[in-house]
Amino acid sequence: MTRMTTTKHSPQQEGRMPSPWIAVVPLAVLTLLLYVVIRAFGGDSINGGSQIALLSATSVCVMLAIGIYGVRWAVLEEAIIDNIRASASAIIILLLIGAIAGSWMVSGVVPTMIYYGLKILHPSFFLVASCAICAVVSLTTGSSWTTIATIGVALMGIGRAMGFPDGWVAGAIISGAYFGDKLSLLSDTTVLASSTVGVPLFTHIRYMLYTTVPSMVLALGVFTTAGFCLDHGVGAEAEVYAATLASIFHISPWLLLVPLATGVLIARKLPAIVTLFCAVVFACVAMLAAQPELVAQVAGVEGLDFMSGFKGVLMSCFGPTALTTGSPELDALVATRGMGGMLNTVWLIICAMCFGGVMTGSGMLRSLTTIFLRVVRRTFSAVASTVGAGIFFNLCTADQYISIILSGRLFRDLYAERGLEERLLSRSVEDSATVCSVLIPWNSCGMTQATVLGVSTFVYFPYCIFNIVSPLMSLLVAAVGWKIARPAGGEKRQPELAPDGKTDM
């Protein structure tokens, strides 16, 4: 991400660093507004309420910066423009993610993966299989919310029929869904964390493997052991869902060539935008070859010709699609929103970049960072502070998107001062702000998943093994120093203090 160069009128260069007590006011306003928005709109807060809260907090920051410290509006405007410019590639990636979500579903790629996943279900392995299936679905769709609200609901019913406690089933579903969401190229939170810190998407994902994979292995081990120890019966609902999918889609292992080809492009380290665009093209070709009837249904015609096929393919990429399966749960699973469904997230990012821009341009974000500069001395304390901040912002703002943005922006300069890699920051943000949001009852994630699964957050909390272990694993890896490198010069010097007690930077 492009770093902003302040002008001669910035408060930092004039030696008038804003007081931390003033700098925390916009954050307090944002926290209060988001609390009210979440209470009023619940899981729909991303549809506009959170954006207005961000812009309102932005205006408070602007008034304080101009009224108290005399910062020129041109400085703040420049910071906003720089932030939005830096997020341009992330916005393009998000739009391509929407196109993939639609094209991979209508082409039958995702249904094929779900179909073969459901075939492996067995009572003794139900919990670990549920976790694995949700991980695969979330990895391919990039959405933990969609995974939980669709296949998760189905697995919840199967688990209850088998006699498993609700907490265990919900914990397995959530653990798998957030594992896939965290590592998926299609995940908006993954893109948001990497772009906020300024780390290439593929670099961010590869570096997360060192903490995410061990956390998932531990979670799978716990769910495997629990599956053998808990009493359960036999359920045939999985076969019904698999049969329904097979009756709607043309299920074929050949369709798995699409994710395989995409994986090859990822392995060749092509730019994310190029890889995602190719993934859309692969799916569109597979869609016409394997699912012509569904393409015609999306286009709203009886027979498929060139124009209707062209229309159906494009509609599956940019617009909402709804295929009738006869099962409400599966209807929700195969329904997609396309590129249009990503616009609320794009809107949120733009508003968040405005808030981050004025906090940076006014020097308020830097003022808050100096507090941590006095405390953080080594790698472990930096990671621990980042993890703690991610959880704290989830508690205060009740939104994982805001938590990711605030954590990344707050610690970016601090990591640079300590000579720590930016990818360590983006990973630490994901290990805390992303996966812990669902564990907080008043967070939008916690409220949504508790409502969708019909299980209280306090009930499933102890069984979300992956979500609990991830931040602890991040701390453990930092303490050991595994795969944590510094620039050739080692840690940079700590900032000196000016006579007035402000950082001389």
The candidate with the shortest Cα–Cα distance to 385, out of 475, 287, 453, is 475
Q: What pLDDT is attached to residue 491?
A: 46
**Cα–Cα distance between 169 and 192 in angstroms, integer?**
29
Separation of alpha carbons 368 and 492, rounded Å: 20
For the stretch 392-402, pLDDT in tens is: 878 766 678 87
How would residue 312 be classed by pLDDT, with cut points 50, 70 and 90?
A: confident
Amino acid at 426: S
Most confident listed range (138-152, 357-371, 422-436): 422-436
In this predicted structure, what is the pLDDT of residue 399? 72
- pLDDT given at position 59: 93
Residue 445 has pLDDT above 90, yes or no: no
Answer yes or no: are the C-beta atoms of 401 and 48 closer than 8 Å: no
Which pLDDT band holds residue 500 (cuts at 50, 70, 90)? very low
- Cα 64 to Cα 71: distance, rounded to the nearest angstrom: 9
Q: What percent of the chain has pLDDT over 90?
A: 20
pLDDT of residue 462: 94
Q: How far apart (Å, rounded) are the C-alpha atoms in residues 141 and 180?
A: 9
Is 447's pLDDT higher than 50? Answer: yes
Sign of CA dihedral 124, 130, 133, 139: negative
Confidence band for 496, pLDDT divided at 50, 70 and 90 = very low
pLDDT at 238: 62
**Region of poorest pLDDT, from 11-25, 265-279, 365-379, 490-504:** 490-504
When pLDDT is cut at 50, 70 and 90, the band that residue 7 belongs to is: very low
pLDDT in tens, 143-199: 787 788 667 877 887 777 677 888 999 999 999 999 998 998 878 889 888 888 888
Alpha helices in 10-87 (DSSP H): 20-41, 49-69, 73-86
Average pLDDT over residues 227-251: 73
Backbone dihedral angles phi then psi of residue 380, each to the nearest 5 degrees: -60, -45
The answer on pLDDT for 221 being more than 90 is yes
Per-position DSSP letters for 82-129, written without gaps between them: HHHHHTHHHHHHHHHHHHHHHHHHHTTHHHHHHHHHHTT--GGGHHHH
Quick one: DSSP state of residue 150? I
pLDDT in tens, 374-431: 777 788 888 998 998 888 878 766 678 878 888 888 788 788 877 888 899 999 999 9
Tell me what the mean pLDDT of segment 131-145 comes to: 84
Query: Is the separation of the CB atoms in 391 and 432 below 8 Å?
Result: yes
Q: Burial of 307 by CB count in 10 Å (0-12 exposed, 13-18 middle, 19+ buried)?
A: exposed
More confident residue, 34 or 26: 26
Q: How confident is the model at residue 494 (pLDDT cuts 50, 70, 90)?
A: very low
pLDDT at 498: 36
Does residue 497 sit in helix, strand or coil? strand
Question: End-to-end distance of the chain based on CA atoms, in angstroms?
Answer: 21
Q: Residue 368: is its pLDDT beyond 50?
A: yes
Is the pLDDT at 132 greater than 50? The verdict is: yes
Residue 69 confidence class, pLDDT cut points 50, 70, 90: confident
- Note the pLDDT tens digit of each residue in 109-125: 878 877 776 677 677 88
CB neighbour list of residue 104: distance below 8 Å, 6 or more residues apart: 110, 140, 141, 258, 279, 283
Higher pLDDT, 333 or 203: 203
pLDDT for position 473: 95
Angle between helices 188-197 and 88-106 (to 10 degrees): 160
pLDDT at 343 over 60: yes
Mean pLDDT of the chain: 81
Name the DSSP letter for residue 374. T
Name which of 199, 179, 211, 143 is nearest 426 in CA terms: 199
* pLDDT above 70 coverage of the chain, percent: 86
pTM: 0.68
Residue 494 DSSP label: P
- The residue type found at 54 is L
Q: Give me the mean pLDDT over the 58-72 stretch.
A: 90
